Amino acid sequence: MATDPITAELGHRPGKVIAVHLSYRSRAEQRGRVPQHPSYFLKTVSSLTGSGEVARPAGTELLGFEGEIAVVIGTPARNVSPADAWAHIGWVTAANDLGLHDLRYADKGANVRSKGGDRYTPVGPRLLDTATVDPRRLGVRTWLDDELVQDDSTEGLLFDFGLMVADLSRVMTLERGDVILTGTPAGASVAQPGRRVAVEVYSLDDPSVTTGRLETAVVEGPALAGWGSPPRVDDAQRADASGRPTEPAEQPFVLTAELRERLSGVAVATLSAQLRRRGYDTVSIDGVRPLVPGRGLVGTARTLRFVPYRKDLFAAHGGGFNAQKQAVDSVGEGEVLVMEARGDATAGTLGDVLALRAKVRGAAGIITDGAVRDAVPVAEVGLPVYSAGTHPAVLGRRHVPWETDVTIS
């Protein structure tokens, strides 16, 4: 019995599965680089599956998910032009480009082991005939459990489907059933065992034209055998897998446990004097106070910037997996989330749910020059929090969560 809808349609497995590295503007901006041309890697045909379970091997950490639109070749294509390429695509469907980041280092970009595992390419559940959709008007959405974490459309593509097919057809024959995973937008991250990932592709013009939700449940699997390259991750790999870029210039030093301990024992006045001696006179955040007096913190800063509320901006950036949620969901062990809210403390920028999430992730604390909602429950979480005040209003009264990991004032 066929395990995926493409194999069911063809009566046999496809010959090739090709994936695009970087193709959405939102993802490129997140990564800090915009490619001039598409680039590709191969996934194993045996990785194809439908909705179901995928195992993260015991002893590994970073099983990444990427919601994507998959195009399936309907008629063979060789040396076709971008203008003619769409005619060679028979169907589009939803796909989840899963990958085990713990093994990415082992193949130096080829992704053979990290992306080629069994059940690492779920597709479906339904194929949409290309005669029923406009390739310029397709949406793709991804949920982690019940939270929308990716929401984009083909309007955000750097390279359209026609260019991808034409480009590949210059050097190879694309045969009926070949699958091209057309890249993922911003918001891709990792899923732990016990969590569910769902992907849907649909028509922006008629949302009833949809693939339905492609559901993948992550479970704990047996450990990898002891031979071959072992799983390995570091902080840079964790950052990349969670969807946030890291550049060496942004992390000029490593805050070791020893250095953290030493800094914890230095008086604030001494630190201030040393900063001034080095010419840093305006690097303090003025007007903030600890929710619980006496709770200090030391950590590497992660940043979140809010812009003033505007109805259209909040509609576009305030919902779903917005910058505020991205910042909290990617803060790492020992890091401090620093929020710039323009000193406006007339609406909340942090509540108890997000504070608890940050603590669970190991954050060293949160600083905001805006207000805190749920001040008593936030204080009870036990995470050091500094704010400019408390206010019961929700975020959308004054602020729009705008961007993370940028220079703030």
Q: Report the distance separating Cα 33 and Cα 25, nearest Å.
A: 10
Global pTM value: 0.61
pLDDT in tens, 126-137: 999 999 999 999
Q: Report the distance separating Cα 8 and Cα 110, nearest Å.
A: 29
Res. 199 pLDDT band, cuts 50 70 90: very high
Lowest mean per-residue pLDDT among 28-32, 91-95, 153-157, 374-378:
28-32
Q: What do you get for the CA distance between the two ends of the chain, in Å?
A: 59
Mean pLDDT, range 166-178, rounded to an integer: 97
Domain 285-404 -> CATH class = alpha beta
Mean pLDDT of the chain: 92
Res. 290 pLDDT band, cuts 50 70 90: very high
Question: What local confidence, expressed as pLDDT, does residue 252 receive?
Answer: 54
- Inform me whether the pLDDT recorded for 232 exceeds 60: yes
- Inform me whether the pLDDT recorded for 248 exceeds 70: no
- Inform me whether the pLDDT recorded for 121 exceeds 50: yes
Question: What local confidence, expressed as pLDDT, does residue 105 receive?
Answer: 87
- Inform me whether the pLDDT recorded for 251 exceeds 70: no
- Inform me whether the pLDDT recorded for 204 exceeds 90: yes
DSSP calls for 99-157: EEGGGHHHHTT--HHHH-STT-EEEEEEEEEGGG--TTSEEEEEEETTEEEEEEEGGGB
Res. 245 pLDDT band, cuts 50 70 90: low
- Inform me whether the pLDDT recorded for 269 exceeds 90: no
283 or 358: which leads in pLDDT: 358
Return the closest-CA partner of residue 217 out of 297, 143, 319, 303. Answer: 143
Pairing of strands 63-65, 67-73: unpaired
- Inform me whether the pLDDT recorded for 31 exceeds 60: yes
Mean pLDDT, range 384-395, rounded to an integer: 93
Mean pLDDT, range 1-16, rounded to an integer: 86
DSSP calls for 164-178: HHHHHHTTSPBPTT-
pLDDT in tens, 304-346: 999 999 999 999 898 888 999 999 999 989 999 999 999 999 9
Question: What local confidence, expressed as pLDDT, does residue 244 receive?
Answer: 63
What residues contact residue 85 under an 8 Å CB cut-off, 6+ apart?
77, 161, 162, 163, 164, 165, 166, 169
Q: Report the distance separating Cα 205 and Cα 137, nearest Å.
A: 7
Question: What local confidence, expressed as pLDDT, does residue 284 receive?
Answer: 85
- Inform me whether the pLDDT recorded for 196 exceeds 90: yes
Q: Report the distance separating Cα 409 and Cα 123, nearest Å.
A: 44
| CB-CB neighbours of 266 under 10 Å | 11
Question: What local confidence, expressed as pLDDT, does residue 247 receive?
Answer: 46
Lowest mean per-residue pLDDT among 56-60, 86-90, 257-261:
257-261
Mean pLDDT, range 57-85, rounded to an integer: 96
249 or 220: which leads in pLDDT: 220
Q: Hey, where are the domains in the chain?
A: 5-234, 285-404
pLDDT in tens, 339-380: 999 999 999 999 999 999 999 999 999 999 999 998 999 999
What residues contact residue 214 under an 8 Å CB cut-off, 6+ apart?
50, 51, 93, 94, 95, 96, 122, 123, 124, 125, 198, 199, 200
Write down the CATH superfamily of domain 5-234.
Fumarylacetoacetase-like, C-terminal domain (3.90.850.10)
